[in-house]
Copies of this chain bind each other. A is one copy, B any other.
Amino acid sequence: MTSSAHDPAPIRRLDGWGFVGHQTDVPRRMLEWLDARLERGPSQPRLPLDGLAAALDADSFPTPRPLPDLGPATLSTDLLDRLRHARGQALPDLVRLRHALAEPKVIGPLPDAVARPRDDAEVEALLAAAAASRVRVVPWGGGTSVTGGAQPPPGDTPTVTLDLEHLAGLEALDEESGLATFGAGTFGPALESALTARGFELGHYPQSFELSTLGGWIAAQSSGQESLGRGRIADLVAGLEVMTPRGRLHLPTLPSSAGGPDLRRLLVGSEGRFGVITRATVRVRRRIAAPDAKALRVEAVLLRDWQGGVEAARRLLEARVPLDLLRLSDEPETAVALSIGLAKSRLGPLAKAWLRLRGVGGAACLLLLGVRARPDDDSALHVDATFEAARRILRPSRPVWLGAGPGRTWVRDRFHHPYLRDALLDVGLCTETIETAAPWSRLSTVYHEVGNALRGALGARDVPVLCHLSHPYADGASLYFTFFFPCAATPRETIERWATLKRRAADAIAAVGAATSHHHGVGSWHTAWLEREIGPLGIRSLDAVAQGLDPDKVLNPHVLLDPTDRLVD
């Protein structure tokens, strides 16, 4: 991978993850692993980086429908701009966008315009005008939804996508209370660098960190890789400013309140259905003056097998070892990780020797444990003591400690794994993920049922499945499944395959009573399964709030609460 993420003005790719100039090849051994299990399909085309606007067949895309006066926010009807705001970043989104030249129709609905308000008043005016004239509005942060949450609703009603990029930056920092106020359109790197300059950090690192925004994290209920130590985004939100078609909802910055149910928690996860979050005050903390690779120590451990690994993870949580990160790969994911990651590190041979000792292809599971250094602790006593406590708890599991080398690699690359999807599409392979959460006592059932559902979803066709446990809590954890299948002859057929896999996995998750999602959200694709999780009265409760704040269904009417199956829309 060439590194240009921190160049002055990185350009987002239209048909893939991240920035132009970044590229990740599929590691040779990973491709070998996949080739041993799958036949490749046709390579998916890429859009040209230069001259795309000229190459597009503008007449094949829907002409922007006329819009009423929506107030002072600037509106763009440029085709490329509309195309950039047409899809999220799940696998089918990438497949569709890659075919934009030859098959424009496969993109699906485009917004009729992209609005870029400069302040709250412009958002408020636009929503009020949209409500008055039956225009739909799709809020847009970084556009990294993997649940169909960023695409326009289908139908005849004109749609404006509301890009919050100008509502960005640090607005206030209360150093005494550790509270920072940012515009909702602030991207991860800009947010952390504004805080770093003042000696603070938020510490929220979802995998999409470089491409997603604070407002998106809140609206879609994200969880950072260090959620074990830092909590989910919901735990970090202290105050919110939300524009709704009915006016402004100001939720004051308070450490806690018994003033009725916590409305901040009602907005977290509302996915743009209740209002547009324009500003948030988040809990920040003092940080040490060092880059992540130094501030976050991640150690790698090999454990005997998955079941033993899950139990070891549970015991670490039960004993309240103050780790910031825990991630346990199952046997297949460990095999892939060892082949592509650890083999490159100096500890590869040890790991391999250990595996050999246990027999070829042994059922080893890789556990990553991370601890972040504390600012008031120059000699890293906290880090040492925490690893010592973890060692004590893990000892009965007879772990093999691989040290900090693999962890450094993981920290360095932790936001770059999604680029692999693009490289796989280049060689005719699809990969997608689905994730959930459940209490410890049900994780084994969830693991087997979801894995089996995925492996059996395409009939005779093999579907390799990797899984890891992460985001652990005292009472349970998240399971994150990565699966692979070949691209089909046409994008529609590829998307049908993907939809079949998603439906089977989501059905399996619902059948065992696990969470619809742990941190990807509901979007417009998981709505039917949300209803299975919270029941008709749960849906009714959320729908009532939407009705109260947005009676004309201006905001994301297809998201969260409309149970139509839109997987292939």
User: What is the interface of chain A, defined by CB distance below 8 A to chain B?
Assistant: 174, 176-179, 220-223, 232, 234, 238, 244, 246-263, 265-271, 274, 283, 285-286, 314, 318-320, 322, 374, 376, 437-442, 471, 473-478, 513-522, 526, 529-530, 533-538, 540-545, 547-549, 560
Q: How far is the CA of A504 from the CA of B374 in the complex (A)?
A: 43
Q: How far is the CA of A374 from the CA of B560 in the complex (A)?
A: 42
Q: In the complex, are the beta carbons of B544 and A259 less than 8 A apart? A: no
| Most B C-beta atoms less than 10 A away, residue of A222, A438, A439 | A439
Chain B residues with CB under 8 Å of A285's CB are 318, 474
Chain B residues with CB under 8 Å of A267's CB are 261
A186 to chain B, nearest CB (A): 19
Q: In the complex, are the beta carbons of A232 and B260 less than 8 A apart? A: no
A131 to chain B, nearest CB (A): 14
**19 A-B interface contacts by CB (under 8 A):** A176-B439, A177-B441, A177-B475, A223-B256, A238-B475, A248-B537, A254-B437, A254-B515, A256-B518, A257-B515, A257-B517, A258-B515, A258-B516, A259-B516, A259-B530, A261-B265, A261-B266, A286-B318, A540-B548
Q: In the complex, are the beta carbons of A177 and B549 less than 8 A apart? A: no
Chain B residues with CB under 8 Å of A283's CB are 474-475
A269 in complex: contacting residue of B258, B438, B474, CB < 8 Å: B258
A520 to chain B, nearest CB (A): 6
Chain B residues with CB under 8 Å of A515's CB are 254, 256-259
Chain B residues with CB under 8 Å of A265's CB are 261-262, 265-266
Q: In the complex, are the beta carbons of A534 and B260 less than 8 A apart? A: yes
Q: Closest B-chain residue to A147, C-beta based? A: B258
Q: Closest B-chain residue to A548, C-beta based? A: B544
A437 to chain B, nearest CB (A): 5
Q: 3 tightest A-B contacts by CB?
A: A544-B548, A255-B476, A259-B516
Q: How far is the CA of A335 from the CA of B560 in the complex (A)?
A: 56
Q: Contacts A249-B537, A538-B249, A545-B545 given: A258-B518 contact, CB under 8 Å? A: yes
Chain B residues with CB under 8 Å of A263's CB are 534, 538, 541-542
Q: Closest B-chain residue to A377, C-beta based? A: B319
A557 to chain B, nearest CB (A): 15
Q: How far is the CA of A339 from the CA of B530 in the complex (A)?
A: 58
Q: How far is the CA of A540 from the CA of B176 in the complex (A)?
A: 33
Q: How far is the CA of A234 from the CA of B265 in the complex (A)?
A: 11
A494 to chain B, nearest CB (A): 26
A314 to chain B, nearest CB (A): 7
Q: In the complex, are the beta carbons of A259 and B318 less than 8 A apart? A: no
Q: Contacts A178-B474, A247-B537 given: A542-B261 contact, CB under 8 Å? A: yes
Chain B residues with CB under 8 Å of A248's CB are 535, 537
Q: How far is the CA of A549 from the CA of B549 in the complex (A)?
A: 17
Q: How far is the CA of A223 from the CA of B257 in the complex (A)?
A: 10
Q: In the complex, are the beta carbons of B439 and A177 less than 8 A apart? A: yes
Q: In the complex, are the beta carbons of B530 and A260 less than 8 A apart? A: yes
Q: Closest B-chain residue to A471, C-beta based? A: B256
Q: Contacts A176-B440, A266-B265, A549-B541 given: A259-B473 contact, CB under 8 Å? A: no
Chain B residues with CB under 8 Å of A274's CB are 541
A517 to chain B, nearest CB (A): 4
Q: How far is the CA of A318 from the CA of B474 in the complex (A)?
A: 23
Q: In the complex, are the beta carbons of B261 and A522 less than 8 A apart? A: no
Q: How far is the CA of A314 from the CA of B286 in the complex (A)?
A: 13
A194 to chain B, nearest CB (A): 18
A54 to chain B, nearest CB (A): 41
A378 to chain B, nearest CB (A): 13
Q: Contacts A249-B535, A262-B268 given: A254-B514 contact, CB under 8 Å? A: yes
Q: Contacts A255-B439, A474-B283, A548-B541 given: A262-B238 contact, CB under 8 Å? A: no
Q: How far is the CA of A471 from the CA of B269 in the complex (A)?
A: 27
Q: How far is the CA of A560 from the CA of B314 in the complex (A)?
A: 40
| Most B C-beta atoms less than 10 A away, residue of A478, A519, A530, A535 | A535
Q: Closest B-chain residue to A283, C-beta based? A: B475
Q: Closest B-chain residue to A176, C-beta based? A: B441
Q: Closest B-chain residue to A249, C-beta based? A: B537
Q: How far is the CA of A247 from the CA of B238 in the complex (A)?
A: 33
Q: In the complex, are the beta carbons of B255 and A475 less than 8 A apart? A: yes
Q: In the complex, are the beta carbons of B439 and A174 less than 8 A apart? A: yes
Chain B residues with CB under 8 Å of A266's CB are 261, 265-266, 541
Q: In the complex, are the beta carbons of B250 and A535 less than 8 A apart? A: yes
Chain B residues with CB under 8 Å of A477's CB are 255
Q: In the complex, are the beta carbons of B261 and A439 less than 8 A apart? A: no
Chain B residues with CB under 8 Å of A220's CB are 258
Q: How far is the CA of A232 from the CA of B437 in the complex (A)?
A: 22
A507 to chain B, nearest CB (A): 15
Q: In the complex, are the beta carbons of B258 and A374 less than 8 A apart? A: no
Q: In the complex, are the beta carbons of A319 and B376 less than 8 A apart? A: yes
Q: How far is the CA of A374 from the CA of B248 in the complex (A)?
A: 46
A259 in complex: contacting residue of B247, B255, B261, B522, CB < 8 Å: B522
Q: How far is the CA of A201 from the CA of B529 in the complex (A)?
A: 34
